[in-house]
A and B are shown apart, each in its own frame.
Chain A
């Protein structure tokens, strides 16, 4: 069945799609927003560690489900395995309205100016596709600000000399440090570093009609029981829906972007919540389905002019899959540093993001979100027994006595780390699934070693008695920080979209999510995804001519 034509159809109601829907609907465009998941239900999963998006032992509470979705993972030795969404190798983010922003930890980092021009700052890295972004920090600054004010960020950069220039302060005051944070701040300051409160997409005071944070210990991986954590589901989406211009359809799985023989996107073919095939024609098609799923959708959209998938005539779609290699250090400490008040991560250190002698990039360090008891089972120094009385003793003795500093290493893009579509395996709707293959760039080992040693040095200084590092690995990146698979660029031969997220050669097909990232920063990427969504929307709104784009 085919619906009446609308101005824009958006695939994915996450960090990117939610914002685009609001911007376009408010500008008067008729919008259909397709989301494979549904509204997240708080009741079913709260404070249940086995149903947390971080440790989904019994399935992903915020989607997608294990029943209908799968992927193929290709191991470095070439063997393959079908993986389910609740398994790590699936590289899941989320599948519900709001996407990852419902259950994320909500760190609200801007990338630094250098993050947008890594190649010109550091030069070439062998065997990498390292490149500058086609846009600069200054281009994005007003849109970072918009994201900070519309979604809502609490922070204070007084003590962070490394961030890019800001025109306005944060809309909300920063959160206080917790015990662990205070210990780290004191130590790092003594060492001449510049610790500061982590900016958070979370209300430190009532903001935008939503209440202040109540400090749940179960925050990251869970939905907020009082809506103090800001996501697109409780900020921009309600505004989009209130305009009357935006129709949200849940349980809808996009199968293909319909591209006609003249290279024009005509709409989206999808399966609705009753698994019936549907078509939504539109003047403009926007894909915001995450770096893995956006790439898959483009690759599955074959047409006369694009026989290898939409926008893929130069074989760049799906390549350069990035995420973040998390490294850091842990220490056991005499003082009880655990606080029942969550979420735990309070202090950030940005001294090592850039300007590290002999190193391309670097990364931010922060103390960690509260580990609930099951996850804590793996917080162990090397060689510590995994079971028996020793396991129990460690849990009891140290659960409340660990200081941590971990952070995301700026990854060097690697062409061979990629999303393709599997030739044989299909999901419950018969759509070919993602095939994930490749590894991180070997250079990331260097970055990871560097950053984890910096963390170790600080943790040692806190007075911890036993300190160990979590080093880097080459294991394929992706997961909740997935990015890079449809990079933006000025040269159509080496990128998928132009600087406005517009797919090369398909004027009315746009992308707004982490796929656009040329590089993924040494920070959690969500605020950049949000800023990009505002940036792309702004371009569309400015060029919109009634029912046509430009």
Chain B
């Protein structure tokens, strides 16, 4: 019965499978393989995208935020916020556990940009370092034009970025910031924390 079926399916009329059937099968296999290879190549080709550098921020937003964070923890003889990858910390966390702050960043950064353009006639990133410091102090103290700020207020926005910059700089590297334990090295703290196992003498650790 099963023999019959196979023969029947293969379209053979007599004994065995005809050469035509074998050829057909080979053709189908070849075609299939070609389609498989082609499709994979196509997928990998069309799927190829420039790596989006950030999950949440646009490149312009990130550029501004990087400049703000670098003001908060600037580079001197040791790493600053940029070196430590603070932007990646913030970007990753507000795409995750801190998602509730997304709107504050989007609106806050927009207000921040407008503030600098209005007060200094120049984008923040292009100001000299000292001028950036002044601009940031203005916002920290809530002294920038208030009509450019809604929710978050300028003070609230500053406090948010300050807190997240500290987290990114001092937190565990696995969250995206504190690259190569930059801040721990700065403070002379052992990293990763190492402690040998207990050894005992007469039941007491030595």
Contacts and interface: CB of A to CB of B under 8 A. Distances in A.
A58 B73 contact: no
Given A66-B97, A206-B200, A396-B78, 14 more contacts: A50-B172, A51-B172, A58-B93, A58-B98, A59-B97, A212-B204, A212-B205, A214-B195, A216-B193, A377-B166, A387-B162, A391-B72, A391-B73, A392-B73
A126 interface: no
B187 A373 contact: yes
B172 A373 contact: no
Nearest to A84: B100
Given A216-B195, A217-B193, A389-B74, A396 B167 contact: no
Contacts of B50: none
Nearest to B71: A388
Contacts of B76: 389, 392
A482 interface: no
Interface residues of A, number: 35
Contact-residue size bin, chain B (C-beta under 8 Å from the other chain) = 35 or more
Nearest to A59: B97
A391 B170 CA distance: 13
Interface string B9-32: 000000000000000000000000
Contacts of B133: 388
B3 interface: no
B193 A47 contact: yes
Nearest to B183: A373
B63 to A, nearest CB: 19
Contacts of A387: 71-73, 136, 140, 162, 165
A84 B98 CA distance: 11
23 contacts: A47-B192, A49-B172, A50-B167, A57-B171, A205-B205, A372-B170, A373-B187, A374-B170, A374-B171, A386-B140, A387-B73, A387-B136, A388-B74, A388-B133, A389-B76, A392-B76, A395-B187, A396-B78, A396-B186, A396-B187, A399-B187, A399-B189, A400-B187
B170 A377 contact: yes
A50 B171 contact: yes
A48 interface: yes
Interface string A205-221: 11000011011111000
Nearest to B163: A57
Interface in A330-370: 340
A170 to B, nearest CB: 16
Interface of A: 47-51, 57-59, 66, 84, 205-206, 211-212, 214-218, 226, 340, 372-374, 377, 386-389, 391-392, 395-396, 399-400
Contacts of A226: 198
B170 A388 contact: no
B113 interface: no
Contacts of B121: none
Contacts of B78: 392, 396
Nearest to B191: A47
Among A48, A206, A372, A373, max chain B CB count under 10 A is at A373
Given A214-B195, A389-B74, A374 B98 contact: no
A445 to B, nearest CB: 26
A47 B195 CA distance: 12
B52 interface: no
A218 B193 contact: yes
Contacts of B184: 373
Contacts of B93: 58
Given A49-B170, A374-B166, A215 B195 contact: yes
B161 to A, nearest CB: 10
Nearest to A173: B204
Interface string B160-188: 00110111001110110000000110111
A66 B97 CA distance: 9
Interface string B44-78: 00000000000000000000000000011110101
Contacts of A66: 97
Nearest to B72: A387
Nearest to A400: B188
Nearest to A391: B73
Nearest to B100: A84
A162 B98 CA distance: 47
Contacts of B200: 206
A216 B100 CA distance: 33
Nearest to A213: B205
A8 B189 CA distance: 49
A305 to B, nearest CB: 42
B109 to A, nearest CB: 17
A49 B193 contact: no
Given A205-B203, A211-B198, A388-B71, A395 B186 contact: yes
A57 B189 contact: no
A199 B183 CA distance: 33
Contacts of B171: 48-50, 57, 374
A64 to B, nearest CB: 14
A359 to B, nearest CB: 36
B5 interface: no
Nearest to A392: B73
B198 A373 contact: no
A59 B171 CA distance: 13
